[in-house]
A and B are shown apart, each in its own frame.
Chain A
Amino acid sequence: GDSVTQMEGPVTLSEEAFLTINCTYTATGYPSLFWYVQYPGEGLQLLLKATKADDKGSNKGFEATYRKETTSFHLEKGSVQVSDSAVYFCALSVVRDDKIIFGKGTRLHILP
């Protein structure tokens, strides 16, 4: 079945460090791919998305490129801030389905 695997956390970085959170997927067909972010005490909100191969989603300095050949959608940011501390979820959705499949989430701590 369709699934998403993302790196386990927590990930702890210093402010201004480079961030990568790995995400790989398994899907039959051609999924859309998402990164959602959950700040403490809040619900999830969409961070970025990509709907076809080689698309790059970007928002708030974060980027992820849809790589069909490696079935990956890694999240990157060049210089993280303390305010980026949150839980990040990689997710996929396929055309035939109304559902989004989420990874287990990666908790990110940024130290000042």
Chain B
Amino acid sequence: NAGVTQTPKFQVLKTGQSMTLQCAQDMNHNSMYWYRQDPGMGLRLIYYSASEGTTDKGEVPNGYNVSRLNKREFSLRLESAAPSQTSVYFCASSEASGQPDTQYFGPGTRLTVL
């Protein structure tokens, strides 16, 4: 049981390049989330998906797009990377939609934009 997996673990981009961060969960969870973690800022929600086929903006969605490919997979795309997007990105999932529930986190992707 792998839980939540993320690829890649590390990535360095140049300003203006694009990339997609991949996330998959094997717990049959309905909801999935993308966060970014910056020093002194805690975790900030970028986008989330309450169920397959739906996505919603979080606190800091600008510069990002997401795709809920199926129930297992939720990808985050940076179309034109900027240095302000240097951060650690975490994907998470939870079982239930519409009610408070434990979130399970992946190991993170450390992204540097030069």
Residues of A within 8 A of B (CB): 31-32, 34, 41-46, 49, 51, 89, 93-100, 102-105
Inter-chain contact B42/A104, CB cutoff 8 Å = yes
What's the least CB distance linking B30 to chain A, in Å? 9
Residues of B within 8 A of A (CB): 4, 31, 33, 40-43, 45, 48, 50, 58, 90, 92, 94, 97-108
Inter-chain contact A105/B42, CB cutoff 8 Å = yes
How many A-B residue contacts, CB cutoff 8 Å? 55
Inter-chain contact B105/A95, CB cutoff 8 Å = no
Inter-chain contact A99/B107, CB cutoff 8 Å = no
Q: How far is the CA of A80 from the CA of B82 in the complex (A)?
A: 41
Beyond A43-B92, A95-B98, 15 additional contacts (C-beta under 8 Å) are A31-B100, A41-B107, A43-B90, A44-B105, A45-B104, A51-B100, A96-B98, A98-B31, A98-B48, A98-B98, A99-B33, A99-B45, A99-B48, A100-B103, A105-B42
* Interface residues of A, dominant DSSP: loop
Inter-chain contact B43/A42, CB cutoff 8 Å = no
Q: How far is the CA of A42 from the CA of B99 in the complex (A)?
A: 26
Which 6 residue pairs of A and B lie closest in terms of their CB atoms, listed nearest first? A93-B100, A43-B105, A104-B42, A32-B100, A44-B105, A102-B43
Contacts of B106 in A (CB 8 A): 43
Inter-chain contact B107/A100, CB cutoff 8 Å = no
Contacts of A93 in B (CB 8 A): 100-101
Inter-chain contact B105/A103, CB cutoff 8 Å = no
Inter-chain contact A49/B102, CB cutoff 8 Å = yes
What's the least CB distance linking B94 to chain A, in Å? 8
Contacts of B33 in A (CB 8 A): 99
Contacts of A100 in B (CB 8 A): 100, 103
Q: How far is the CA of A74 from the CA of B43 in the complex (A)?
A: 19
What's the least CB distance linking B20 to chain A, in Å? 19
Q: Closest chain A residue to B42 by CB distance? A: A104
Contacts of B45 in A (CB 8 A): 99
Q: How far is the CA of A42 from the CA of B109 in the complex (A)?
A: 10
